[in-house]
């Protein structure tokens, strides 16, 4: 067996039964796997293939190979095969018997020019991310360049107009499942310090475009940085729940000063190369076509002593005095504790920075590596990394994406109804440059709608986010109409009138008559069944839900609701429109409340039940808010308004009568003329700035409700910890999310994570409702729900899906069709 790391790539097929390892070709193995699968010969687990780039360091002993379980899933193999015409290497590490491998293109290349400069290029589309094999390949290229007599200096760069988007984020979930951290932990010292920064030959980073996270950290390990004008430089690791791990906490403060470095890290905010130049992060800005030439010259100049050779880790000239630095860090810590009380990783980032300031860059880098390894596997990192991929997965809808449909061009949209929702929707559309017809039934309503749109835009002007000129241009994109006369010119209609079935049905009949046959007919209904709504038309294939959240021009989520008749083209078109108006779209099935309102109906119901069980409503709100929701259930009820609350509640009660808690509290509040924020009186009292304070006068209403409900055990208020409160409110939400998954209302669990974060303000660092539930574990959740079911009834009863996942140990996020498999 050839173990030369410079040798060709090998495919090793490991047959678990005979423990043999032999070479074969990728295509042969894939074909054989398919053959075996067809013939039903054993499970895929028994035969698997691995493409291994032999590295003497990791595969020095053949017996290590026999320890490995192989690729468990034929899909992994097929994925490899799809990377056609490229050399491929598969990196893998194993832990607890799971495959945690990584397929990558051979991603780091080196060319040595006649000028004795070695140009090392990271080429790993789409963003030149650095996975472990890329880091090792980078080290190998450096070793070669450092060893070669014909190399005097080195330039490191990235292909396709980017430097690097940082460490490969897709590796984190595998580490979080227990995979080995391996070289990742060593890269900061072994690669960035010992191989690059302290090498005898200088390196210059040529930064053509983005350099983020590990990408910027690599560039900062170099002895100079040359960038193009469009380069973006930043350390956004904190938004993934981790901290920079390749020395960024040490080098950035030394290059740009502590205050700016903390701002960039704590806000995960990149800067453009121009600002980088002013701060000292970038040494020269050059045109893209000159980038490599100038970087090569800089590298040679440093090698020949014509320019200073600066090692960022050793520099102190930009650092504040120790006393000032400590004050700055202290202030930053206080800010973090105030603004993000549930997060520890920003504080750990500050610890790493402080260690470096006090004990020197090298000691700081060691501390950083230790803290980085701890944060990677933290629950916050699990949540935020999940969200990173969940956001990107929303546009890749299984069953739709495979059709390869291209969105049709949408130029003009009509919105029917200029109320709060309609005017918000129009605002969102015109802000993105769409021409819009706003239709109302009379001039008074039309003018009121147009005024609301104007006010939405004016608020931007007041905040300095929009110029007066732009305000006029944008406002001119909306035309108010009272008839359907011009509707033939529109590509999409969004109906946004009140929730009245007869009214909506008649509007859809009118739309069918007055719009082109290819016009998309969408509705902003939040409760009405789309099939009922379009029942009187013959256009069911182009009827679709466009469920915005209020205020529609601000809230980032758009639920796109399809029926079993909606055509895939219409779905693709509306998703593209959503993206164009800067919404995160989630495709959901047709049911009462769709995804967000359906999953979260138990949120308020559970809180109302707890109140009837004697728990103080303000304590409930505080516990939930401290846990991370933007507001507790009672404050939310005030915000939504009691009228809307009752209307939606009625729909929910009708649709899900087996699991609702019908509270007397809200009707009683309504009877007492308490409408919520709308009239300044609800569970809270509101001042003119909408600031809420508890309303002691509602004590009697709460008491009355408790007495009528009569659900307190032995007539005594229930004693709960804050953790109990959170669980009793949030676990029923998880339970409903499980029903939504079981009914396939969403196509992938990550869509519910997105819906909960963007639609309900679920704390992003908990990853979304399903991700959070998986971190806690279905078993624990089901057991708690079962206990409360016995004490308080079927409102808490875990659904079959949750029970099944609790007993099988399969995560809730695993798609139903794969649920029998552990992978
Ligand atoms: C040790 C180190 O300190 C640790 C680290 O470096 S952690 C990584 C730090 N880097 C980051 O956080 C950057 C994350 N990425 C981004 O912000 C954005 O993707 C970007 C600005 C680089 C590009 O944005 P944009 O052009 O809108 O494209 P976007 O859709 O986001 O990404 C394109 C693809 O690249 C992937 N991608 C982006 N950055 C990635 C990364 N660092 N690792 C793996 N995949 C990445 C995305 O998942 C997406 O994949 P898909 O097409 O299969 O969905």
Give the angle subtended at the CA of 604 by the CAs of 600 and 609, to the nearest 5°: 130
Position 394 in a domain:
no
Task: Give yes or no for a contact between 668 and 699, defined as CB atoms under 8 angstroms apart.
Answer: no
| Phi-psi region at 777: left, alpha or beta (left = phi > 0; alpha = psi -120 to 50) | left
Predicted confidence (pLDDT) at residue 504 exceeds the cutoff of 70 = yes
User: Does 231 share its domain with 360?
Assistant: yes
Give 658's DSSP letter: G
Is any ligand 1 atom within 6 A of the Cβ of residue 240? Answer: yes
User: Does 626 share its domain with 646?
Assistant: yes
- % pLDDT > 70, the chain: 86
Beta strands 94-95 and 98-99: pairing type?
antiparallel
Which residue's C-alpha comes closest to atom 31 of ligand 1? Answer: 392
Return d(Cα 410, Cα 400) in angstroms, integer: 19
Distance 173 CA to ligand 1 centre (A): 14
Residue in the structure block whose two tokens are 């109320």: 419
Lowest mean pLDDT among 39-43, 236-240, 717-721, 752-756: 39-43
**95: Cα within 13 Å, side-chain hemisphere:** 13
Is any ligand 1 atom within 6 A of the Cβ of residue 237? Answer: yes
Of 102, 197, 237, 677, the catalytic one is 237
Burial 716-741 (b: 16+ CB within 10 A, else e): eebebeeebbbbbbbbbbbbbbbbbb
pLDDT at 18: 27
Position 333 in a domain:
yes
**289: Cα within 13 Å, side-chain hemisphere:** 0
Which residue's C-alpha comes closest to atom 33 of ligand 1? Answer: 126
pLDDT at 812: 97
Q: Spell out the alpha helix ranges (H) of 560-689.
A: 568-580, 596-599, 601-612, 617-627, 633-640, 642-655, 665-671
User: Does 564 share its domain with 709?
Assistant: no
User: Does 84 share its domain with 112?
Assistant: no
Other CB atoms within a 10 A radius of the CB of residue 609 amount to: 26
Containing domain of residue 491, as a range? Answer: 408-588
Is any ligand 1 atom within 6 A of the Cβ of residue 217? Answer: yes
**pLDDT tens digits along 764-816:** 999 999 999 999 999 999 999 999 999 999 999 999 999 999 999 999 999 98
Q: Which atom belonging to ligand 1 lies closest to the Cα atom of 393?
A: 54
Which residue's C-alpha comes closest to atom 29 of ligand 1? Answer: 392
Task: Give yes or no for a contact between 770 and 801, defined as CB atoms under 8 angstroms apart.
Answer: no
Predicted confidence (pLDDT) at residue 319 exceeds the cutoff of 60 = yes
- Over residues 86-112, mean pLDDT: 49
Q: Which atom belonging to ligand 1 lies closest to the Cα atom of 215?
A: 6
Task: Give yes or no for a contact between 218 and 130, defined as CB atoms under 8 angstroms apart.
Answer: yes
Is any ligand 1 atom within 6 A of the Cβ of residue 132? Answer: no
Residue at which a domain ends, from 553, 588, 623 = 588
Is any ligand 1 atom within 6 A of the Cβ of residue 188? Answer: no
**pLDDT tens digits along 581-606:** 999 999 999 888 899 999 999 999 99
| Among 52-66, 76-90, 187-201, the range of highest mean pLDDT | 187-201
User: Does 624 share its domain with 558?
Assistant: no
What is the pLDDT of the chain when averaged over all its residues? 87
Residue at which a domain ends, from 534, 569, 588 = 588
Position 392 in a domain:
no
Task: Give yes or no for a contact between 778 and 802, defined as CB atoms under 8 angstroms apart.
Answer: yes
Q: Which of 526, 746, 742 is nearest to 644 (CA)?
A: 526
Query: For residue 281, with 0-12 CB atoms within 10 Å meaning exposed, 13-18 middle and 19 or more buried, which class applies?
Result: buried
Task: Give yes or no for a contact between 222 and 205, defined as CB atoms under 8 angstroms apart.
Answer: yes
Beta strands 520-523 and 492-495: pairing type?
parallel
Task: Give yes or no for a contact between 579 and 395, defined as CB atoms under 8 angstroms apart.
Answer: yes
Q: Is 144 part of the annotated catalytic residue set? A: no
Q: Which atom belonging to ligand 1 lies closest to the Cα atom of 392?
A: 54
- Over residues 170-183, mean pLDDT: 85
Is any ligand 1 atom within 6 A of the Cβ of residue 165? Answer: yes
Q: Which atom belonging to ligand 1 lies closest to the Cα atom of 126?
A: 35
CA distances from 784 to 134, 136, 526, 559, 807 (A): 45, 47, 31, 31, 14
pLDDT at 1: 30
User: Does 548 share its domain with 606?
Assistant: no
Residue at which a domain ends, from 525, 555, 588 = 588
Distance 127 CA to ligand 1 centre (A): 6
Which residue's C-alpha comes closest to atom 14 of ligand 1? Answer: 165
Q: Which of 203, 247, 245, 233 is nearest to 360 (CA)?
A: 247
CA distances from 713 to 125, 606, 793 (A): 61, 16, 12
Distance 169 CA to ligand 1 centre (A): 7
Token pair of 695 as six digits: 């309303």
Q: Which atom belonging to ligand 1 lies closest to the Cα atom of 162?
A: 22
Is any ligand 1 atom within 6 A of the Cβ of residue 464? Answer: no
Distance 129 CA to ligand 1 centre (A): 7
Predicted confidence (pLDDT) at residue 179 exceeds the cutoff of 70 = yes
Whether residue 551 is preceded by a cis peptide bond, meaning omega within 30 degrees of 0, is: yes
- Ligand 1 pocket: which of 82, 126, 130, 385 to mutate (most atoms <8 Å of CB)? 126
Is any ligand 1 atom within 6 A of the Cβ of residue 202? Answer: no
Distance 567 CA to ligand 1 centre (A): 32
**Which CATH number do you get for residue 568?**
3.40.50.720
Is any ligand 1 atom within 6 A of the Cβ of residue 179? Answer: no
Distance 547 CA to ligand 1 centre (A): 29
Please give the full DSSP string across 463-510, using - where no structure is assigned: TTSS-HHHHHHHHTTEEEESSSGGGGG-SEEEE---S-HHHHHHHHHH
User: Does 256 share its domain with 296?
Assistant: yes
Please give the full DSSP string across 167-219, using - where no structure is assigned: B-GGGHHHHHTT---HHHHHIIIIIIIIIIITSSS-EEEEE-S-EETHHHHHH
Return d(Cα 590, Cα 181) in angstroms, integer: 43
The strand pairing partners of 412, in sequence order, are 435
Of 89, 197, 217, 368, the catalytic one is 217
Give 729's DSSP letter: H
Return d(Cα 15, Cα 369) in angstroms, integer: 38
Position 542 in a domain:
yes
Is any ligand 1 atom within 6 A of the Cβ of residue 246? Answer: yes
Distance 677 CA to ligand 1 centre (A): 41
Return d(Cα 226, Cα 119) in angstroms, integer: 14
Is any ligand 1 atom within 6 A of the Cβ of residue 158? Answer: no
User: Does 446 share its domain with 514?
Assistant: yes
Rounded-to-10 torsion of CA 573, 579, 583, 584 = 90
User: Does 98 share its domain with 115?
Assistant: no
- Ligand 1 pocket: which of 102, 103, 107, 166 to mutate (most atoms <8 Å of CB)? 166
Residue 68 pLDDT grade (very low, low, confident, very high; cuts 50, 70, 90): very low
Task: Give yes or no for a contact between 520 and 549, defined as CB atoms under 8 angstroms apart.
Answer: no
User: Does 203 share its domain with 254?
Assistant: yes
pLDDT at 35: 56
**Which CATH number do you get for residue 675?**
1.10.1040.50
Q: Is 140 part of the annotated catalytic residue set? A: no
Whether residue 126 is preceded by a cis peptide bond, meaning omega within 30 degrees of 0, is: yes
pLDDT at 134: 86
Position 752 in a domain:
yes
Which residue's C-alpha comes closest to atom 27 of ligand 1? Answer: 392
Structure ipTM: 0.99
Residues 6+ apart with CB under 8 A from 176: 376, 377, 381, 382, 385
User: Does 370 share its domain with 422?
Assistant: no
CA distances from 391 to 162, 548, 557, 738 (A): 22, 17, 11, 20
pLDDT at 95: 28
Q: Which of 338, 330, 460, 377 is nearest to 171 (CA)?
A: 377
Which residue's C-alpha comes closest to atom 26 of ligand 1? Answer: 127
User: Does 338 share its domain with 446?
Assistant: no
pLDDT at 105: 44
CA torsion sign, 514 to 515 to 517 to 521? negative
Position 402 in a domain:
no
**pLDDT tens digits along 320-358:** 999 999 999 999 999 999 999 999 999 999 999 999 999
Distance 243 CA to ligand 1 centre (A): 16
- The H or E element that residue 560 is part of is strand 557-562
pLDDT at 650: 86
Residue in the structure block whose two tokens are 């472990």: 132
Q: Which atom belonging to ligand 1 lies closest to the Cα atom of 244?
A: 3
Q: Which atom belonging to ligand 1 lies closest to the Cα atom of 232?
A: 21
Distance 723 CA to ligand 1 centre (A): 35
Is any ligand 1 atom within 6 A of the Cβ of residue 167? Answer: yes
Predicted confidence (pLDDT) at residue 60 exceeds the cutoff of 80 = no
Is any ligand 1 atom within 6 A of the Cβ of residue 236? Answer: yes
The total number of structural domains in the chain stands at 4
Position 384 in a domain:
no
pLDDT at 177: 87
Q: Which of 671, 631, 667 is nearest to 649 (CA)?
A: 667
- % pLDDT > 90, the chain: 77
Position 216 in a domain:
yes
Is any ligand 1 atom within 6 A of the Cβ of residue 169? Answer: yes
Q: At what angle do helices 420-431 and 468-475 cross, to 10 degrees?
A: 110
Task: Give yes or no for a contact between 372 and 243, defined as CB atoms under 8 angstroms apart.
Answer: yes
Residues 6+ apart with CB under 8 A from 780: none
Is any ligand 1 atom within 6 A of the Cβ of residue 212? Answer: yes
CA distances from 755 to 60, 170, 193, 553, 606 (A): 48, 22, 43, 17, 20
């Amino acid at each position: 067996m050839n173990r030369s790391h410079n040798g060709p790539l090998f495919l090793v097929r490991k047959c678990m039964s005979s423990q043999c390892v032999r070479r074969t070709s990728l295509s042969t193995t894939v074909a054989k796997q398919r053959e075996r699968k067809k013939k039903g010969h054993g499970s895929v687990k028994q035969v698997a293939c691995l493409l291994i780039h032999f590295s003497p360091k990791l595969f020095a002993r053949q017996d290590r190979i026999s320890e490995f379980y192989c690729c468990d899933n034929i899909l992994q193999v097929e994925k490899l095969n799809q990377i056609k015409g490229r050399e491929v290497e598969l990196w893998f590490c194993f832990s607890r018997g799971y495959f945690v491998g990584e397929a990558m293109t051979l991603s780091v290349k080196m060319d040595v020019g006649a000028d004795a400069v070695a140009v090392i290029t990271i080429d790993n589309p789409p963003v030149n991310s650095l996975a472990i094999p890329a880091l090792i390949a980078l080290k190998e290229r450096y070793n070669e360049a450092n060893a070669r007599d014909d190399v005097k200096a080195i330039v490191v760069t990235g292909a396709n107009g980017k430097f690097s988007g940082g460490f490969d984020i897709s590796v984190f979930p595998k580490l979080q499942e227990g995979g080995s951290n391996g070289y990742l932990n060593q890269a900061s010292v072994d690669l960035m310090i010992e191989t690059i920064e302290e090498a005898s030959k200088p390196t210059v980073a040529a930064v053509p475009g983005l350099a983020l996270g590990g990408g910027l950290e690599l560039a900062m390990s170099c002895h100079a940085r040359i960038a193009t004008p469009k380069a973006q430089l930043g350390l956004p690791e904190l938004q993934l729940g981790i901290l920079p791990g390749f020395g960024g906490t040490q080098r950035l403060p030394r290059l740009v000063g502590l205050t700016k470095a903390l701002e960039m890290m704590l806000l995960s905010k990149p800067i453009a190369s121009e600002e980088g130049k002013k701060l000292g992060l970038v040494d020269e800005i050059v045109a893209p076509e000159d980038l490599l030439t100038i970087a090569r010259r800089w590298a040679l100049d440093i090698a020949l002593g014509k320019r200073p050779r600066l090692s960022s880790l050793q520099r102190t000239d930009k650092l504040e005095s120790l006393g000032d630095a400590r004050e700055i860090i202290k202030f930053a810590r206080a800010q973090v504790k105030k603004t993000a009380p549930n997060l520890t990783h920003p504080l750990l980032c500050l610890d790493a920075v402080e260690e470096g300031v006090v004990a020197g860059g090298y000691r700081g880098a060691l501390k950083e590596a230790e803290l980085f390894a701890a944060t990677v596997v933290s629950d916050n990192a699990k949540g935020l990394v999940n969200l990173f991929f969940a956001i990107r997965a929303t546009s890749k809808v299984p069953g739709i994406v495979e059709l390869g449909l291209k969105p049709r061009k949408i130029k003009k949209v009509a919105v029917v109804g200029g109320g709060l929702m309609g005017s918000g929707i129009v605002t969102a559309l015109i802000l993105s440059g769409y021409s819009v017809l706003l239709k109302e039934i009379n001039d008074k309503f039309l003018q009121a709608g147009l005024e609301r749109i104007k006010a939405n835009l004016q608020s931007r002007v007041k905040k300095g986010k929009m110029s007066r000129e732009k305000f006029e241009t944008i406002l001119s994109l909306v035309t108010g109409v009272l008839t359907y006369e011009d509707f033939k010119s529109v590509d999409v209609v969004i109906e946004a009138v009140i929730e009245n079935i007869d009214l909506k049905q008649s509007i859809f009949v009118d739309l069918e008559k007055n719009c082109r046959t290819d016009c998309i007919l969408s509705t902003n209904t939040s409760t009405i069944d789309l099939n009922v709504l379009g029942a009187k038309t013959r256009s069911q294939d182009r009827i679709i839900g466009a469920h915005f959240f209020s205020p529609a021009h601000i809230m980032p989520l758009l639920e796109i609701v399809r029926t079993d008749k909606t055509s895939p083209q219409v779905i693709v078109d509306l998703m593209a429109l959503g993206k164009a108006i800067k919404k995160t779209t989630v495709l959901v099935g047709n049911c009462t409340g769709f995804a967000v309102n359906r999953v979260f109906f138990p949120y308020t119901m559970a809180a109302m039940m707890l109140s009837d069980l004697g728990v103080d409503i303000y304590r409930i709100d505080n516990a939930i808010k401290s846990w991370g929701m933007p507001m507790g259930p009672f404050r939310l009820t005030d915000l939504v308004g009691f009228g809307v609350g009752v209307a939606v509640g009625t729909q929910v009660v009708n649709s899900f009568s087996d699991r609702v808690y019908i509270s007397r509290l809200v009707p009683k509040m309504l009877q007492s003329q308490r409408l919520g924020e709308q009239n300044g009186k609800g569970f809270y009292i509101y001042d003119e700035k909408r600031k809420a304070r508890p309303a002691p006068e509602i004590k009697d209403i709460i008491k009355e409700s408790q007495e009528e409900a009569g659900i307190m055990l032995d007539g005594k208020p229930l004693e709960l910890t804050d953790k109990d409160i959170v669980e009793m409110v949030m676990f029923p939400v998880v339970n409903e999310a499980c029903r939504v998954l079981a009914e396939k209302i969403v196509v992938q669990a990550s869509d519910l994570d997105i819906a909960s974060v963007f639609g309900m303000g679920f704390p992003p660092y908990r990853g979304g409702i399903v991700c959070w539930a998986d971190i806690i574990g279905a078993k624990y959740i089901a057991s708690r729900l079962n206990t409360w079911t016995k004490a308080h009834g079927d409102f808490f009863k875990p659904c079959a899906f949750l029970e099944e996942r609790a007993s099988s140990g399969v995560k809730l996020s695993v798609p139903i069709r794969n649920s029998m498999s552990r992978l």
